[in-house]
């Protein structure tokens, strides 16, 4: 490139500063389109504040998530008949992708894949995600209803009972369609919750191997204790583990993982460290991010453990912890996809979680505030 003052005009040197700022913004928009891709179980949350009696009736525990069994099937109608319910677009991965999109404020920076029914619930979720700026590409199952999740809220804590229905019918053939796999090729960061292990491990491995081959970032979440406790699900998680660059979870899930590995420790920092050091594809270093509710988040990476504070919320402002972990992941991913350092990722995660736990369900204002408002 010629040096300044050598008599050769440098392209763009005479253009106003506003032009360069605009051009830079346009390039960022183009670069960020489809940069983050999520794949998971899209389900409609049927959320209600309940009393202890219904939790006892269905043998449910707070701060837990389970798959619906036959004995739980009446709970969805019982909630709608006896409680004031709210319908919210949900599913762990879809929540995180919606939050990341909200934080980024760049239309279609995120994409999402999953399976819904050909019904009003599926259409409601599609429209909601479109309003949020997420590019959803659902597989539609005409023979099965859209998945639902009973969200029972008590004292700001929650118990989840998921009836996957159509979400359970995602097929890898959909992922292989050229227009869908183009989303995989476009993305630079992938996020899949552990819940999707129960649906399509083959799809998970297809994306994981693509990420490894193309040197992209592949992220997963432990999601719930049963993912580790049910042997086929644990086996699928461990098959994906070498490809995972960033693994999320909470302290309960971390302790469960340790138990199923036969590790004689309940020290969350030590567990995070041991998970980070499990074998990885190509020797890449894995980052393990463990949230602990109101306590600092633990991050293990490259032989070191660091803690990052969350934003303490007065108890009277706590509305609903449902979606707090998903929101943290969404905030984290919104910075990761921009190449920000881990401290910025954790700070954004804490901010997003703090906003969401002051709402009923995984919801948020029209725009983020403070330093994230200008993004």
Q: Which residue has the tokens 């707090």?
A: 324
81 is catalytic: no
- Identify the DSSP state of 146: P
Residue 111 in contact with residue 136, Cβ under 8 Å? yes
In the set 141, 245, 320, 326, the catalytic residue is 326
Residue 184 in contact with residue 175, Cβ under 8 Å? yes
Alpha-carbon gap, residue 367 to 375, rounded angstroms? 10
Q: Which residues lie below 8 Å from residue 18, measured CB to CB, with a gap of 6+?
A: none
Kindly report the backbone phi and psi dihedral angles of residue 37, in degrees, each rounded to the nearest multiple of 5, phi listed first: -120, 130
Burial of residue 371 (CB within 10 Å: 0-12, 13-18, 19+) is exposed
Kindly report the backbone phi and psi dihedral angles of residue 219, in degrees, each rounded to the nearest multiple of 5, phi listed first: -125, 145
- Concatenate the DSSP letters of all residues of 203-239 into one string: HHHHHHHHHHHHT-EEEEE--SHHHHHSHHHHHHHHH
Q: How many residues does the chain have?
A: 375
Strand partners, 190: 37, 218
H-state helical runs in 58-171 = 75-82, 92-104, 120-132
Catalytic residue positions?
A: 326
């Amino acid at each position: 490139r010629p040096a300044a003052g050598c008599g050769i005009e440098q392209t763009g040197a005479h253009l106003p500063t506003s032009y360069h700022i605009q051009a830079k913004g346009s390039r960022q928009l183009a670069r960020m389109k489809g940069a983050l891709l999520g794949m998971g179980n899209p389900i409609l949350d049927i959320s209600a504040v309940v009393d202890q009696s219904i939790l006892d009736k269905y043998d449910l525990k707070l701060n837990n998530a389970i798959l619906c069994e036959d004995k739980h099937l009446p709970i969805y109608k019982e909630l709608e008949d006896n409680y004031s319910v709210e319908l919210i677009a949900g599913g762990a991965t879809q929540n995180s992708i919606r939050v990341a999109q909200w934080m980024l404020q760049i239309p279609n920076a995120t994409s999402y894949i999953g399976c819904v029914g050909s019904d009003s619930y599926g259409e409601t979720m599609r429209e909601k995600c479109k309003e949020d700026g997420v590019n959803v590409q659902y597989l539609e199952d005409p023979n099965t209803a859209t998945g639902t999740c009973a969200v029972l809220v008590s004292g700001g804590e929650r118990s989840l009972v998921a009836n996957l229905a159509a979400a359970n019918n995602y097929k890898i053939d959909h992922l292989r369609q050229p227009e869908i796999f183009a989303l995989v090729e476009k993305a630079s960061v992938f996020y899949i919750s552990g819940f999707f292990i129960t649906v399509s491990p083959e799809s998970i491995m297809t994306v994981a191997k693509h990420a490894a081959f193309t040197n992209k970032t592949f992220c997963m979440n432990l999601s719930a204790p049963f993912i580790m406790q049910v042997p086929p699900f644990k086996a699928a998680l461990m098959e994906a583990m070498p490809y995972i660059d960033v693994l999320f979870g909470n302290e309960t899930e971390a302790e469960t993982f340790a138990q199923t590995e036969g590790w004689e420790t309940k020290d969350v920092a030590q567990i995070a460290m041991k998970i980070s050091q499990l074998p990885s594809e190509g020797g890449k270093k894995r980052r393990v991010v463990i949230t602990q509710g109101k306590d600092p988040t633990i991050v293990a990476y490259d032989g070191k453990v660091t803690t990052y504070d969350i934003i303490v919320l007065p108890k009277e402002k706590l509305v609903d912890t449902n979606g707090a972990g998903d929101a943290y992941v969404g905030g984290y991913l919104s910075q990761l996809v921009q190449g920000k350092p881990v401290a910025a990722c954790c700070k954004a995660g804490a901010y997003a979680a703090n906003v969401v736990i002051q709402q009923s369900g995984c919801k948020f204002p029209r725009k983020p505030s403070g330093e994230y408002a200008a993004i």
